[in-house]
Amino acid sequence: DGQNHSILDNCHVRVTFATNDERTAKRISETLGTATELKSQRNYAGHRLAPWLGHLMVSRQETARPLLTPGEVMQLPPDEAVVMVSSVAPIKAKKLRYYADSNFKRRVLPPPVLATLSMQGRYADVPPERADDWSGLAIPAMPVA
């Protein structure tokens, strides 16, 4: 995608959500590409008061349309996302809410219990402090001018 986008250019999978930024929405819309839409148009020719005496002409026209316009990207529902995988058509997906899905609720573990050392007020899980080259140095006095 060009200069200053080296991270995005090398992502195999991109997941996008509704955005509040118009430039970002435009970029997502352009990345998604276009789809062909078939539009039908009917024209009636003949007497206005007797349409059964007239002619009916139906024409179909193929037009290109963005898969999602920038406005549609900005208005994506909060439970939807767009998944773009390299060499695969974009996927409009529903977000999985692990805390609301019974299959995933039981997999959620409680937060770990951190044991504190009452004497030092530190957590027992914290690694010990390491000595470094700077801790023992005295701070030189700054001359006052």
DSSP classification of residue 110? P
pLDDT value of position 8: 81
Q: Quick one: which of 102, 127, 123, 121 has its CA closest to 113?
A: 123
Judge contact between 82 and 93, C-beta under 8 A. yes
pLDDT value of position 118: 57
pLDDT value of position 86: 92
Judge contact between 12 and 88, C-beta under 8 A. no
Q: DSSP 3-state assignment of 27?
A: helix
> Is residue 24 a part of any domain in this protein?
yes
> Is residue 142 a part of any domain in this protein?
no
How would you write the pLDDT of the chain (145 residues) with one tens digit per residue? Answer: 457 778 888 899 999 999 999 999 999 999 999 999 888 888 777 666 666 666 777 888 898 999 999 999 999 999 999 999 999 999 999 998 888 888 888 888 888 777 666 556 667 677 777 788 887 788 888 887 6
pLDDT value of position 109: 83
> Is residue 62 a part of any domain in this protein?
yes
Judge contact between 51 and 44, C-beta under 8 A. yes
Q: Is the dihedral of CA 129, 133, 138, 139 positive or negative?
A: negative
Q: What is the largest CA-CA distance in the chain?
A: 106
Domain of 94, in residue numbers: 6-101
Collect all residues with Cβ–Cβ distance below 8 Å to 38 and sequence separation of at least 6.
60, 61, 62
> Is residue 82 a part of any domain in this protein?
yes
Number of structural domains (the chain) is: 1
> Is residue 68 a part of any domain in this protein?
yes
Q: Quick one: which of 76, 66, 87 has its CA closest to 17?
A: 76
